[in-house]
Amino acid sequence: MTDFPLAWIRSQYPALRPETGTDRVFLDNASGSQVPQTVIDAMVHTLTTMNVNKGGAYGASERVTAAKEAVRAQVAAFLNAPSPRSVVFGPNATTLVELLAQSFGKTLAAGDEIIVSALEHHANRDPWRRLEAHGVVVKTWPVREEARLALRDLEGLLTPKTRLVALTAASNALGTTPDVAAVSARVHAAGARLMVDAVHYAPHALPDVQAWDADMLVFSPYKVFGPHLGVLYLSDALLGALPAPKLTFLAAADPIAWEPGTQNHEAIVGFGGTFRYLDELAAQLGVQGSGRTAWAGAFGAFAAHETVLLGQLLAGLDELGATRYGLPGTEGRTATVSFNLGSHAPQAVAKHLAGHGVTAASGHYYAYELMMHSLGLSACGGAVRLSILHYNSAEDVAAVLAALAELA
């Protein structure tokens, strides 16, 4: 594999060009990534040549139908799903989890139990909590020191009444990556289903629904260098078995049963531009093969690059005397860091960084229970979050640390 082609990578992203806007350093990537030109081109092509609905007998409709289904197949490969029919598109992950929870809830009885980890974004917490109104018992799998999840705690929560465990593959607040496969083994041994939130994981590593034996999974293409869009994976055992939000005449075992109304065609086809970008990047890296094999090589290179930058950021924050949350080092996490700096309010720090052309998040990032309760940060208003992706550079890290040094 050749050296990491950072200059080429950055040249593919219009937002990273010096002449574009005032935000020079994108470090709020956990809220949404930037998009390469291939995505923009695919969306423009869709809107200008086939901005029609699918299923028609005329050329433009046939083309947009074929283009959407081609992307569905690419997403299936991205997830290592057995079949493209397991892939459902929607407006965002939050909406898809809500649809899923409403459907799964119809299969439950009063007294049935659901376990939700304390690391969750509320999109994978609140829809399950709402089932308590129907007599479902929802338990929280708590975090321990350094916001770690312990398998022995899960084992203590699992009972013959457990029907589902909801788990993030990577915390959007702290970057922590639980051992999904180990959790899955215990969940299935108890006769329950596993719901995986891969929204924060997918920009950093390839999800693998077969290796994880996931029954359900969501991720957000707009955080994986693509357009604003959501994806739901349903296993073969669930597709067609769960009551779908479908129109009466549609087949329950078809993904369209879970795609009510007209979908965002340009976003779905546009996401195909992300896979084209990954193909081109794999070629730049000298990765052999195609499809998921090539993408795995690209994501391996992403991880190595991001880990170096993460190490530099962690060391710099420690030198500034910042209080960091979660795991202490670079292992077992994505390149995402939450911290506070002295007595400065996190919102004030984020505003200061914005004045220096750095994007950062502040507050709880919709991981409210984790940040405000488990970590006890309600009094200070949460924390500052910096999140690195493969297109970031050592200069980006140096820029944010220099800006923070003015406050420290």
* Largest pairwise CA distance in the chain: 65
Distance CA 193, CA 5 (A): 41
How far apart, in Å, are the Cα atoms of 29 and each of 34, 203, 225, 244, 387? 8, 9, 10, 32, 5
Does residue 97 have a pLDDT over 80? yes
Does residue 350 have a pLDDT over 70? yes
At 143 the pLDDT is 98
Distance CA 15, CA 32 (A): 13
**Coil/strand/helix, residue 46:** helix
Distance CA 296, CA 288 (A): 10
- Mean pLDDT is lowest, of 86-95, 252-261, 367-376, for 252-261
Q: What percent of the chain has pLDDT over 90?
A: 93
CA angle 155, 157, 162 (to 5 degrees): 105
Over the stretch 169-178, which tens digit does the pLDDT of each residue have?
A: 999 999 999 9
Top pLDDT among 191 and 261 is at: 191
CB 141 within 8 A of CB 157: yes
Task: Please give the DSSP secondary-structure letter assigned to residue 329.
Answer: S
Task: Please give the DSSP secondary-structure letter assigned to residue 333.
Answer: B
At 14 the pLDDT is 95
Does residue 27 have a pLDDT over 80? yes
Over the stretch 197-252, which tens digit does the pLDDT of each residue have?
A: 999 999 999 999 999 999 999 999 999 999 999 999 999 999 989 999 988 998 88
Task: Please give the DSSP secondary-structure letter assigned to residue 2.
Answer: P
Q: What percent of the chain has pLDDT over 70?
A: 99
At 20 the pLDDT is 73
Q: Where are the domains of the chain?
A: 6-31+291-407, 42-273
At 1 the pLDDT is 59
Residue 74: how many other CB atoms lie within 10 Å = 22
- Mean pLDDT is lowest, of 66-75, 234-243, 383-392, for 234-243
At 289 the pLDDT is 87
Whole-model pTM over 0.95: yes
Fold of 6-31+291-407: Aspartate Aminotransferase, domain 1 (3.90.1150)
Same fold, 6-31+291-407 and 42-273: no
Does residue 19 have a pLDDT over 80? no
Element (H, E) at 90: strand 87-90
CB 314 within 8 A of CB 320: no
Over the stretch 303-345, which tens digit does the pLDDT of each residue have?
A: 999 999 999 999 999 999 999 999 999 999 999 999 999 999 9
Q: How confident is residue 22, by pLDDT bands cut at 50, 70 and 90?
A: low
CB 388 within 8 A of CB 309: yes
**Cβ within 8 Å of residue 383, ≥6 positions away:** 173, 325, 338, 339, 340, 346, 362, 363, 371, 375, 377
Q: Does domain 42-273 have CATH number 3.40.605.10?
A: no
SS (H, E, C) 10-41: HHCCHHHCCCCCCCCEECEHHHCCCCCHHHHH
- Describe the crossing of helices 394-407 and 346-354 by its angle, rounded to 10 degrees: 120
DSSP-based helix, strand, coil % in the chain, nearest 5: 45, 15, 40
- As a whole number, the mean pLDDT across the chain is 96
